[in-house]
Amino acid sequence: MFTEWSLTKTLPADFVTKPLRQLLATDWQLPKHLIYSLKRGQRVLVNDQYLPVNFTVKAGDTVALTFVRADFRLPESRITPDSAATVRICYEDDNLLVVNKTAGSKTHPNQPGELGSTLNHVAAYLAPRHQQAFMVHRLDQATSGALIVGKNPAVIPPLVAAIKKKEVSRTYRAWVHGTGLAEHGRISLPIGRDPEDKRKRLVNGPQAQAAVTHYRVLKETADATLVAVQLETGRTHQIRVHLAAIDHPIIGDPLYAHDDAHHLLLHSYQVVLPLPFDFKTITVTAPTPDYFTP
């Protein structure tokens, strides 16, 4: 059983002096209840001493945080480890990793004890080091590529906050049917449910929500186009629905294209994210699979 998680960071030379509370809430994006818990338990130390959170911290100070089980609603991920054979690491540090998810693997299990998902495989990779796999975001089962996975419960709130504030940027690559797309494009079409197929989503379907997708043409062949795609919103199947709606469905899409390709040619190619409890942003690229060609 995991009982506590400790994080230590020395503030960089260009750090601007500010109250400790501002560092925790604004820079490190910890929610109020966690800051309160750290303060109440005197589990936030500056240069090895407890300081009230209204005291200032400055460049060169060392800040140590200790989280305990009671700080979190779900202190354990409860994901059963499976084989780590398919895990491909693109980036890893003490708090998180970015893996290159294989197409056909679900992001996470849906039932207790379920095996076979990407998080099951990552849990097996982390288990020998007594670390856990926590979900941060999802990729469709048929989509491959960069997937962020947390390694402790403390890292999840700042990562989720960064995604919500659009500080995390993800770029996808997709091969679509047809040519003639504008060099750059913006697709703004609401996406709702498909009343005739619960697996699918539909432009202007029931319970539609605003959805915006940006794309850029990278390459054309005789009858296909490679595009880079970024999401302004994050609706289910958004890229797939939007590209199909402009008559350029993704090659191999079993729901929105009618072809006999064996793989959905949609890949989470690159992720840019601010590192939690740090002051730098990294760019991580997930190599495309060998089959990623029309």
Q: Are residues 191 and 63 in the same domain?
A: no
Q: Are residues 146 and 278 in the same domain?
A: yes
Q: Are residues 191 and 219 in the same domain?
A: yes
What's the CATH code of the domain at 249? 3.30.2350.10
Catalytic residue check, 194: no
Contact (Cβ atoms closer than 8 angstroms) between residue 226 and residue 215? no
Q: Are residues 115 and 234 in the same domain?
A: no
CA geometry: angle 203, 205, 207, nearest 5 deg: 120
In this prediction the pTM is 0.93
44 sits in the region (left: phi over 0; alpha: psi -120 to 50; else beta) called beta
**Within a domain: 290:** no
**Within a domain: 204:** yes
Q: Are residues 29 and 48 in the same domain?
A: yes
Q: Could you report the per-residue pLDDT of 37-65, keeping only the tens digit for each?
A: 999 999 999 999 998 999 999 999 999 99
Q: Are residues 210 and 235 in the same domain?
A: yes
Q: Are residues 247 and 179 in the same domain?
A: yes
Domain extent for 51:
4-71
- The two tokens of residue 192 are 């709702």
**Within a domain: 36:** yes
Q: Is the dihedral of CA 100, 104, 109, 113 positive or negative?
A: negative
Q: Are residues 165 and 196 in the same domain?
A: no
**Within a domain: 81:** no
Which residue of the set 27, 140, 253, 278 is catalytic? Answer: 140
- The two tokens of residue 24 are 């925790």
- The two tokens of residue 44 are 């936030």
Query: Among 38, 71, 104, where does a domain finish?
Result: 71
Q: Are residues 179 and 50 in the same domain?
A: no
Q: Are residues 162 and 281 in the same domain?
A: yes
**Within a domain: 82:** no
Q: Are residues 149 and 95 in the same domain?
A: yes
Distance CA(279)–CA(23), nearest Å, equals: 11
Give the pLDDT of the chain (294 residues) as one tens digit per residue: 678 999 999 999 999 999 999 999 999 999 999 999 999 999 999 999 998 999 999 999 999 999 999 999 889 888 999 988 889 999 999 999 999 999 999 999 988 888 999 999 999 999 998 899 999 999 999 999 999 999 999 999 999 999 999 999 999 999 999 999 999 999 999 999 999 999 999 999 999 999 999 999 999 999 999 999 999 999 999 999 999 999 999 999 999 998 988 899 999 999 999 999 999 999 999 999 999 999
DSSP the chain: ---EEEEEEEPPTTPPPEEHHHIIIIIS---HHHHHHHHHTT-EEETTEE--TTSEE-TT-EEEEEEEGGG-S-SS--PPP---TT--EEEE-SSEEEEEEPTT--SS-SSTT---SHHHHHHHHHGGGT---EE-----TT-EEEEEEESSGGGHHHHHHHHHTT-SEEEEEEEEE-S---SEEEEE--EEE-TT-TT-EEET-TT-B--EEEEEEEEE-SSEEEEEEEESS--TTHHHHHHHHTT-PBTT-TTT--S--SS--EEEEEEEEEPTTSS-EEEEE-PPPTT---
pLDDT at 1: 65
Q: Are strands 191-193 and 201-203 parallel, antiparallel or unpaired?
A: antiparallel
**Within a domain: 84:** no
Q: Are residues 176 and 253 in the same domain?
A: yes
CA geometry: angle 129, 112, 131, nearest 5 deg: 10
Distance CA(240)–CA(95), nearest Å, equals: 32
**Nearest alpha-carbon partner for 102 in 88, 123, 90:** 88
pLDDT at 78: 86
Distance CA(112)–CA(27), nearest Å, equals: 35
pLDDT at 84: 87
What's the CATH code of the domain at 52? 3.10.290.10
**Within a domain: 293:** no
pLDDT at 101: 98
Domains of the chain: total: 3
**Within a domain: 125:** yes
Contact (Cβ atoms closer than 8 angstroms) between residue 148 and residue 98? yes
